[in-house]
Amino acid sequence: MPRPARYSDPRRQPSPSQQGPRRHKHTDYTKEAASGTEEDLFALLETVTNPLLLILDQVTDPHNLGACLRTANAAGVAAVIAPKDHSAALTETVRHIACGAAEATPFIQVTNLARVMEKLKERGIWITGTAEEATKSLYESDFTGPCAIVAGAEGAGVRRLTGEKCDFLVRIPMRGTVPCLNVSVAAGVCLFEAVRQREVRSEK
């Protein structure tokens, strides 16, 4: 006997690929999400007091970039900076993973990351990079002033030249057997340590 029409067969429903790209309810797709330039970055910094920045060194995976943008927005980061080459761009996948952060947090792509880092230091911004081999712990660092935190791509980590441009290198203490964290998780640990320190300072 044929099945009544009011009962739909789930096997005949369109697959996710047939339904088109998934959309996140927190992402406003009517807003434009575009990367900014080096000039945009320094114009922005003229308007920000005690900035907290996130620098991503050759993070190529769009899911990692989207997660980093989401974390950066939650931590109140003024801008996320990345090199133009060998880095993920603001694709729809990035926007989806970022859950609205790609439209709200400036994403700056620069031609020469080392030069931009030097300019940031000239403007009084202290730069701290993350590295497994660093001897100083993240929790021994001071993030209460104007600062930028550098996170590298999974596997490769922060490049040698990028590390040399940092004022400090720190490690996240690991208590298990894995050697490192996903870049978005590492960025979150560092950024929210900065948030914690700044909140404690503001309460004094």
Tell me the per-residue pLDDT of 75-120, one tens digit each, with 9 for 90 and over.
999 999 999 999 999 999 999 999 999 999 999 999 999 999 999 9
Tokens (6 digits) for 202: 């503001």
DSSP states along 47-89: T-SS-EEEEEES---HHHHHHHHHHHHHTT-SEEEEESTTS--
Q: Which pTM does this prediction carry?
A: 0.85
CA atoms within 13 A on the CB side of 198: 18
Is residue 15's pLDDT more than 70? no
Per-residue model confidence as pLDDT tens digits over 25-49: 555 555 566 889 999 999 999 999 9
- Residue range 158-186: mean pLDDT, rounded: 94
Q: Provide the percentage of residues in the chain whose pLDDT is more than 90.
A: 76
**What confidence tier does 203 reach under pLDDT thresholds 50, 70, 90?**
confident
pLDDT value, residue 20:
46
Domains of the chain and CATH, by start: 32-203 (3.40.1280.10)
Tokens (6 digits) for 166: 């940092």
**What confidence tier does 14 reach under pLDDT thresholds 50, 70, 90?**
low
Rounded to whole angstroms, the Cα distance separating 152 from 131 reads 8
pLDDT value, residue 201:
87
Q: Coil, helix or strand for 139?
A: helix
Q: Coil, helix or strand for 94?
A: helix
